[in-house]
Amino acid sequence: MLTLFAMPKPFKGHFGIIQRNAIGSWTRLHPSCEILIFGDEEGTQQATKDLNVRHIPEVVRNEYGTPLLNDLFKKTEQSASHDLFCYVNCDILLMDDFIQAVDKVSHWRNRFLMVGECWNLDLTEPEAFEHRGWQSRVRTLVLEKGKSRGPWYIDYFVFSRGLYEHLPPFAVGRAGLDNWLIWKARDLKADVVDASHFVTAVHQDHDYSHVAGGGNWSYHGNEARQNLELAGGKKHYYLILDATHRLDAKGLRRNFGAYLRLKFRWRFHIGPRVWRAVWNIAEITRPIRHPLGLHMTNVKWFKSCLSRQK
């Protein structure tokens, strides 16, 4: 049915725990999926052996030693047994609602991209997958402690074979490539589905100690700037909110708000003080807005535009 593929960080310390948690959750999806793990980072070979998933060590890298996205996608197309792919970050827990969403969308369209927001959750211990109720436990933790990552951060991409035939050599794990993948799917006239309201996907919080230069390098360093150039500028950085359709418990429906967001994307220049005022007003007016169907999603989008322009 589905081939998941990922490029992990070294399996040591906290990263070793959360990556084993993530891959462990994928191996327990039903129906079962093919899983391809790329790279030769420390501990990868042993982890893939322990988790009984396929290991492809050879990956093309840039001058900084960072894996390149186009090579991952090319090797997956060549190696996968299925015609549906999911490129997923190696710190993401997936549960059965993810497979249900893939099934719904793949039966609806042959050519598509499915993405969705994830929930930040701080997990420091190995997840006990042997207990039948592990998914319920994770969902409870999300309700109690989880925080939405927001529409700028895209951690999984489900797409049909052949959608991304020609990819730039983006540096994996650096800013921009995830947003560009949404733009590219829309540019190719594929349907893009936002599954945020159907899928509970969990991003396990972590630091940036695996990157020389930390988070600042990942988002603003030379590789991030190269990604921006390869993408053709920020005009090709789309959000999850720019999906053509949304999937929720009631089914698939067109996302009419995406048209206005695309039309006026780069016309907003809101300073921090103005943003705080907008947020306070939004909180005060919540009892009035919600009955009218006016939620904070659009306000959060304004905030994301502000943060990307810094």
- Please report, for the domain that includes residue 106, its CATH number: 3.90.550.10
Residues in Cβ contact with 303 at an 8 Å cutoff, skipping those fewer than 6 apart: 150, 275, 279
Same structural domain for residues 281 and 241? no
The one-character DSSP state at 33 is -
- Report the pLDDT value the prediction gives residue 179, as an integer from 0 to 100: 94
Same structural domain for residues 54 and 114? yes
- Report the pLDDT value the prediction gives residue 290, as an integer from 0 to 100: 60
Domain of 280?
268-309
Same structural domain for residues 185 and 276? no
Same structural domain for residues 104 and 166? yes
Query: From the DSSP assignment, how many helices (H) and strands (E) are in the chain?
Result: 12, 13
Residue 261 within a domain: no
- H/E stretch holding 113 reads strand 112-115
Same structural domain for residues 137 and 186? yes
Name the H helices within the chain.
Answer: 13-27, 44-51, 69-79, 96-108, 134-145, 177-187, 214-220, 222-231, 257-263, 272-284, 286-289, 297-309
Question: Is 171 in a helix, a strand, or coil?
Answer: strand
**Measured between alpha carbons, how far is 100 from 24 in angstroms, rounded to an integer?**
18
Same structural domain for residues 79 and 200? yes
Same structural domain for residues 167 and 281? no
Residue 224 within a domain: yes
Mean pLDDT, each 10-residue run in order, the chain (310 residues): 96 94 96 96 97 97 96 97 97 97 97 96 87 91 91 94 95 94 96 96 82 73 95 92 94 81 50 52 69 57 54
Residue 263 within a domain: no
Same structural domain for residues 160 and 105? yes
- Report the pLDDT value the prediction gives residue 297, as an integer from 0 to 100: 55
Same structural domain for residues 303 and 220? no
DSSP string, 63-76: TTS-BBHHHHHHHH
pLDDT tens-place string over residues 104-148: 999 999 999 999 999 999 988 888 887 889 999 999 999 999 998
> Largest Cα–Cα distance in the chain?
56
pLDDT tens-place string over residues 40-82: 999 999 999 999 999 999 999 999 999 999 999 999 999 999 9
Residue 260 within a domain: no
Query: For the chain, how many structural domains are there in total?
Result: 2
Question: Is 258 in a helix, a strand, or coil?
Answer: helix
Same structural domain for residues 146 and 10? yes
Same structural domain for residues 197 and 119? yes
- Report the pLDDT value the prediction gives residue 156, as an integer from 0 to 100: 98
Same structural domain for residues 239 and 272? no
Residue 259 within a domain: no
Q: In the sheet that 201-204 helps form, which strands lie side by side, from edge to edge?
A: 92-93, 201-204, 118-121, 147-148
What is the model's pTM?
0.83
- Report the pLDDT value the prediction gives residue 202, as an integer from 0 to 100: 96
Residue 227 within a domain: yes
